[in-house]
């Protein structure tokens, strides 16, 4: 039931989760949590190939292409 409610919010412009640092608002709580790492400087995602660290897993995944030579799609 909660999954349906969360999914339905994606079809509205409702953004109830607001960052206290910058005021940016998000539809999902997890989006806010991920965003807040940009303010804290937290970088828990480390590249095993070179040791470079990132705030978000998507940043790490994009970076990995440097080592594989793949172009992002």
Give 2-61 pLDDT, tens digit per residue.
788 777 777 778 899 999 999 999 988 989 998 998 899 999 999 999 999 998 888 999
In this prediction, residue 63 has a pLDDT band, given cuts at 50, 70 and 90, of: very high
Pick the CATH number of 13-40 from 3.40.50, 3.30.450, 3.30.160, 1.10.287: 3.30.160
Residues 6+ apart with CB under 8 A from 14: 27
Give me the residue spans of the domains in the chain.
13-40, 43-73
pLDDT at position 73 is: 62
β-pairing, 45-46 vs 53-54, is: antiparallel
Rounded to 5 degrees, φ, ψ at 50 are -130, -10
pLDDT at position 34 is: 86
Q: Is the pLDDT of residue 72 over 90?
A: no
């Amino acid at each position: 039931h909660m999954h349906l409610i969360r999914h339905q919010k994606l079809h509205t412009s409702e953004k109830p989760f607001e960052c206290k640092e910058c005021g940016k608002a998000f539809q999902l709580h997890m989006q806010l949590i991920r965003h807040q790492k940009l303010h804290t400087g937290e970088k828990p995602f480390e590249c095993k190939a070179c040791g470079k660290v990132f705030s978000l897993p998507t940043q790490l995944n994009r970076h990995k292409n440097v080592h594989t030579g793949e172009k992002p799609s």
